[in-house]
């Protein structure tokens, strides 16, 4: 077949298809630029009916249904529908009215009428949630020396919050043993109160530091840890909380101040100084002779008296005698020489502590400097 004939046939088919486009376009495949479509295309009316007889032979019956009266519908694009046919008024509820309705004016393509759509806006009711106070709050037992400001600083809350939570006033006094409610977990309260943490399984220095807002480096330095890569489970770590560091700093300053005062007082007292071994004794038969309250030179001893016994060389060689006034470094007050020790001791003093045997045991044996 010649090429001119083929081109003529194709042109004729395209022309016929264009002229009869309204009957061919299906509403299911509408694209841009189409103003009308056929909702009842021929493909929807070409139906195959399948029936079976007794011998199970398949019989196919083809039927063509008649077209409906309304063949074409008008196609409206989304842009046209929004700009031209839909008008949304401002919600009434945002104008201060009590009405919770939304009015929308809709124009139908076939029948133009206005309808009012009322949408009831219902609020979701907020149900009360039952809160277990044992999970959100913990308790702290007041100890000796606790005050409201220190406790608030220790647990990271304000004094106002602490007092309101426990029905107190800022001027309220704390009774030892009183339980205070705090907005923290009980485990965290115990750790903050003692500044000590027992290492649990799978704990690392980084996780412990992150849990309490510290740095792993400060924990290592505070506990003199040599190997920071591993921490033994069950080990008790001291945590350098800010209030702990503040207490340590204040205590250090106080001790330095007292040491400076004592040093000045000691230097101003006496002409002689000597380092000796100092022990302690009490008025018990096991530590003295048969007369525990009677010392040398017939001096009477009683609890509370600041008295010392000295070795014999302190009397013969270093010039001490009965009643010599002595200052002992590290101890407040002045002591008097009222007794003497056995001949076998050299450069030694024995501090009298009345009947307090526990205090004498705590003192033990120390090397001190005395001034007289």
Per-residue pLDDT tens over the stretch 50-62: 555 555 555 555 5
Query: How far apart, in whole angstroms, are the C-alpha atoms of residue 315 and residue 349?
Result: 11
Query: How far apart, in whole angstroms, are the C-alpha atoms of residue 190 and residue 341?
Result: 51
Which pLDDT score, from 0 to 100, does residue 73 have?
64
Joined tokens for residue 146 = 């606790």
Which pLDDT score, from 0 to 100, does residue 57 have?
58
Which pLDDT score, from 0 to 100, does residue 369 have?
92
- Ordered by where they begin, the domains of the chain are 22-75 (no CATH), 76-120 (no CATH), 135-193 (3.10.350.10), 195-254 (3.10.350.10), 269-371 (2.40.40.10)
Give the chain's largest Cα–Cα span. Answer: 156
- Chain-centroid distance of CA 277 in Å reads 52
Question: CB under 8 Å to 227, separation ≥6 — which residues?
Answer: none
Closest of 115, 41, 34 to residue 76, by C-alpha: 34
Q: Which helix (H) or strand (E) holds 308?
A: strand 307-310
Question: CB under 8 Å to 127, separation ≥6 — which residues?
Answer: none
> What residues of the chain score a pLDDT lower than 70?
1-35, 38-135, 262-268, 286-289
The answer, as to whether pTM is greater than 0.75, is no
Which pLDDT score, from 0 to 100, does residue 106 have?
45
Query: How far apart, in whole angstroms, are the C-alpha atoms of residue 304 and residue 307?
Result: 9
In Å, what is the CA distance from 363 to each residue of 127, 161, 201, 313? 66, 45, 41, 23
Joined tokens for residue 290 = 């048969």
Q: How many CB atoms lie within 10 A of CB 231?
A: 20
Which pLDDT score, from 0 to 100, does residue 150 have?
87
Which pLDDT score, from 0 to 100, does residue 202 have?
87
Query: How far apart, in whole angstroms, are the C-alpha atoms of residue 233 and residue 298?
Result: 62
Which pLDDT score, from 0 to 100, does residue 6 have?
64
């Amino acid at each position: 077949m010649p090429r001119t004939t083929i081109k003529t046939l194709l042109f004729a088919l395209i022309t016929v298809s264009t002229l009869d486009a309204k009957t061919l376009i299906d509403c299911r495949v509408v694209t841009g630029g189409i103003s009308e479509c056929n909702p009842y295309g021929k493909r929807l009316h070409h139906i195959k009916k399948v029936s079976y007889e007794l011998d199970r032979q398949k019989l196919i019956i083809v039927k063509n249904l008649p077209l409906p009266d309304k063949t074409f519908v008008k196609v409206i694009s989304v842009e046209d529908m929004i700009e031209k046919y839909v008008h949304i008024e401002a919600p009434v509820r945002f104008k201060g009215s009590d009405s919770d309705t939304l009015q929308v004016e809709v124009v139908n393509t076939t029948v133009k009428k206005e309808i009012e759509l009322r949408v009831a806006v219902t609020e979701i009711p907020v149900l009360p949630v039952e809160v277990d106070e044992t999970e959100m709050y913990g308790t702290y037992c007041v100890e000796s020396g606790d005050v409201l400001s220190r406790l608030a600083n220790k647990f990271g809350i304000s004094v106002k919050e602490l007092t309101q939570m426990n029905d107190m006033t800022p001027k309220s006094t704390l009774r030892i043993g009183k339980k205070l409610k705090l907005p923290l977990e009980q485990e965290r309260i115990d750790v903050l109160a003692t500044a000590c943490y027992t290492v649990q399984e799978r704990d690392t220095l980084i996780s412990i530091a992150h849990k309490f807002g510290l740095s792993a480096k400060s924990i290592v330095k505070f506990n003199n840890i040599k190997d920071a890569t591993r921490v033994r489970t069950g080990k008790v770590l001291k945590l350098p909380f800010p209030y702990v560091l503040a207490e340590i700093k204040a205590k250090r300053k106080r001790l330095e101040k007292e040491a400076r005062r004592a040093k000045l007082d000691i230097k101003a007292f006496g002409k002689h100084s000597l380092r000796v071994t100092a022990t302690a004794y009490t008025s018990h038969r096991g530590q003295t002779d048969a007369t525990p309250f009677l010392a040398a030179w017939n001096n009477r001893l009683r609890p509370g008296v600041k008295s010392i016994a000295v070795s014999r060389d302190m009397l013969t060689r270093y010039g001490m005698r009965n009643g010599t006034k002595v200052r002992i470094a590290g101890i407040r007050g002045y002591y008097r020489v009222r007794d003497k020790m056995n001949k076998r001791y050299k450069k030694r003093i024995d501090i009298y502590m009345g009947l307090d045997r526990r205090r004498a045991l705590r003192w033990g044996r120390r090397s001190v400097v005395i001034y007289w």
